[in-house]
Amino acid sequence: MKTNSYDTVVLGGDENGIERAAALLRAGEPVAIPTETVYGLAANALDPNAVKRIFEAKGRPHDNPLIVHISEFSQLEPLVTEIPDMARRLAEKYWPGPLTMIFRRSPIVPDEISAGLDTVAVRMPSHPVARSIIKAAGLPLAAPSANRSGSPSPTSAGHVLLDMGGRIPAVVDGGKCQVGVESTVVDMTGQTPRLLRPGGVTPEELRAVVGQLAIDPAVTSQLENGAKAASPGMKYKHYSPKARVVLVKGSPEKFSDFVNRQKAPGVAAMCFDGEETALEVPYVTYGGREDAAAQAYRVFESLRRLDEMQVGLVYCACPKEDGLGLAVYNRLLRAAGFEVISLD
Ligand code: TXA
Ligand code: MG
């Protein structure tokens, strides 16, 4: 295989870049593309060989299914056996945007995409470059986040190059991702919609359309050993820098007192904007304590910065768990391998 042997080119998000990306995708090659959530590693969703290239480039476990990206609602019908009424209503409200819905899949969806499940995840991104690439390619595109499996998701073309440089033919640079965390994943195949992964569309926003929403236990807790994950991606340690991360719940004062007592070579903090002034250890900030949108925008970049600082242990101030904060909390819990300390 050609993995590891590319001279990865950076394409612009202009007409020329979009056309060149579309041509590569039509030829069965994987290409990293910007979306409003995070960068995705895209390939022709209807070509099993193209889809395999994604798994190879990412080092992704084969039991973790991929999201199919479309630019028009009409592309959904051939992929699924049924579009439930509530899914139509959610699509009307939140597509294009950071919402992924799970449907029963039709036979044209390759097994490689669904990783053995009888369902398929579909989303319509809002990023203009992503939409133009899907249109120009004339194909639905499978795209997981464009990081090496286990690493923080990429929110800039530079992050993609760090993880995927040499492993893929091209990345399209569409600037920094505006949402910063991945899409919300909701299973629409049961009676009640079920939240599998919190993301850019909040539970409150979903409930405003569908009324009842079940929250999968894996969103905020660790699966028992051997338990089957509704969303396979949620069972892995994920989004991690190389350092050990510990999530710390408590007031700003308790957080800084605690962290300063742990001061030692290799110990660092990830804290909210303005709260670094009380700290005696190296730090990164990731948005204001009350500003979940800023936290989402910066969380992955901040986790990557910790790698550059070459620290061994990071105490991370815990975000609130409502609204967009739930998505940030969910990612940090996984970065921390579910290691949480409560100071209250
Ligand atoms: O915002 C996003 O969703 C980004 C951008 C690129 O669109 N994509 C993304 O893909 O985050 P990925 O592969 O990193 O995460 C997809 C998640 C995984 O947790 C996977 O297990 C879950 O969605 N998933 C995909 N298909 C599924 C299915 N049929 N049933 C349940 N979960 C599914
Ligand atoms: Mg991912």
Query: Is the confidence at residue 303, as pLDDT, over 60?
Result: yes
**282 shares its domain with 164:** no
**Residue of minimum CA distance from atom 3 in ligand 1:** 183
Q: 212 lies in a domain?
A: no
For residue 144, how far is its CA from the centre of ligand 2 (angstroms)? 6
For residue 14, what pLDDT band results from cuts at 50, 70 and 90?
very high
For residue 66, how far is its CA from the centre of ligand 1 (angstroms)? 5
Residue 154 to residue 175: CA distance in whole angstroms: 11
State which of 147, 231, 236 you would mutate to test the pocket of ligand 1, scoring each by most atoms of that ligand within 8 A of its C-beta.
231
User: What is the pLDDT, as a whole number, of residue 222?
Assistant: 86
Q: 85 lies in a domain?
A: yes
User: What is the pLDDT, as a whole number, of residue 240?
Assistant: 80
Q: 207 lies in a domain?
A: no
User: What is the pLDDT, as a whole number, of residue 30?
Assistant: 98
Q: How many CB atoms lie within 10 A of CB 309?
A: 14
Cβ burial 22-43 (10 Å sphere, 16+ → b, else e):
bebbeeebbbbbbbbbbbbbbb
**249 shares its domain with 321:** yes
Domain closes at, from 160, 182, 204: 182
User: What is the pLDDT, as a whole number, of residue 344?
Assistant: 87
Q: 63 lies in a domain?
A: yes
**158 shares its domain with 253:** no
Spatial contact of 282 and 276, defined as CB atoms under 8 Å apart: no
**80 shares its domain with 177:** yes
User: What is the pLDDT, as a whole number, of residue 317?
Assistant: 98
**32 shares its domain with 166:** yes
Q: 269 lies in a domain?
A: yes
**178 shares its domain with 250:** no
Q: 62 lies in a domain?
A: yes
For residue 223, what pLDDT band results from cuts at 50, 70 and 90?
confident
81 lines ligand 1 (CB under 6 A): no
In the sheet that 214-215 helps form, which strands lie side by side, from edge to edge? 9-12, 170-173, 31-33, 40-44, 141-142, 67-69, 119-123, 99-104, 184-187, 194-197, 214-215
Nearest to 87 by CA among 106, 100, 78, 68: 100
**127 shares its domain with 269:** no
State which of 58, 94, 100 you would mutate to test the pocket of ligand 1, scoring each by most atoms of that ligand within 8 A of its C-beta.
100
Domain closes at, from 134, 165, 182: 182
DSSP string for residues in 78-130: GGBS---HHHHHHHHHH-SSSEEEEEEBPTTS-HHHHTT-SEEEEE----HHH
Q: 192 lies in a domain?
A: no
Give bridge partners of residue 104 from the DSSP assignment: 119
**37 shares its domain with 128:** yes
**165 shares its domain with 271:** no
127 lines ligand 1 (CB under 6 A): no
CATH number at residue 24: 3.90.870.10
**139 shares its domain with 19:** yes
Instruction: Give the residue numbers spanning the domain of 107.
Output: 9-182
| Atom of ligand 1 at shortest range from CA of 179 | 1
Give bridge partners of residue 44 from the DSSP assignment: 141
Structural domains of the chain, count = 2
What is the pLDDT averaged over residues 57-78? 95
Over the chain, what is the mean pLDDT? 95
pLDDT by residue (tens digit) across 124-166? 999 999 999 999 999 999 999 999 988 999 999 999 999 999 9
**291 shares its domain with 166:** no
Residue 96 to residue 9: CA distance in whole angstroms: 28
Spatial contact of 136 and 18, defined as CB atoms under 8 Å apart: yes
For residue 287, how far is its CA from the centre of ligand 1 (angstroms)? 25
For residue 45, how far is its CA from the centre of ligand 1 (angstroms)? 14
Query: Is the confidence at residue 2, as pLDDT, over 50?
Result: no
**115 shares its domain with 261:** no
Q: Model pTM?
A: 0.96
CATH number at residue 279: 3.40.50.11030
User: What is the pLDDT, as a whole number, of residue 284?
Assistant: 98
Domain closes at, from 182, 204, 234: 182
State which of 38, 129, 185 you would mutate to test the pocket of ligand 1, scoring each by most atoms of that ligand within 8 A of its C-beta.
185
For the chain, list the strands marked E by DSSP: 9-12, 31-33, 40-44, 67-69, 99-104, 119-123, 141-142, 170-173, 184-187, 194-197, 214-215, 244-249, 267-271, 283-285, 313-317, 340-342
- The maximal CA–CA distance of the chain, rounded, in angstroms, is 59
Higher-pLDDT residue of 3, 5:
5
Query: Is the confidence at residue 15, as pLDDT, over 80?
Result: yes
Kindly report which listed range (153-157, 235-239, 257-261, 276-280) carries the lowest average pLDDT score. 235-239
What is the pLDDT averaged over residues 168-186? 98
Q: 217 lies in a domain?
A: no
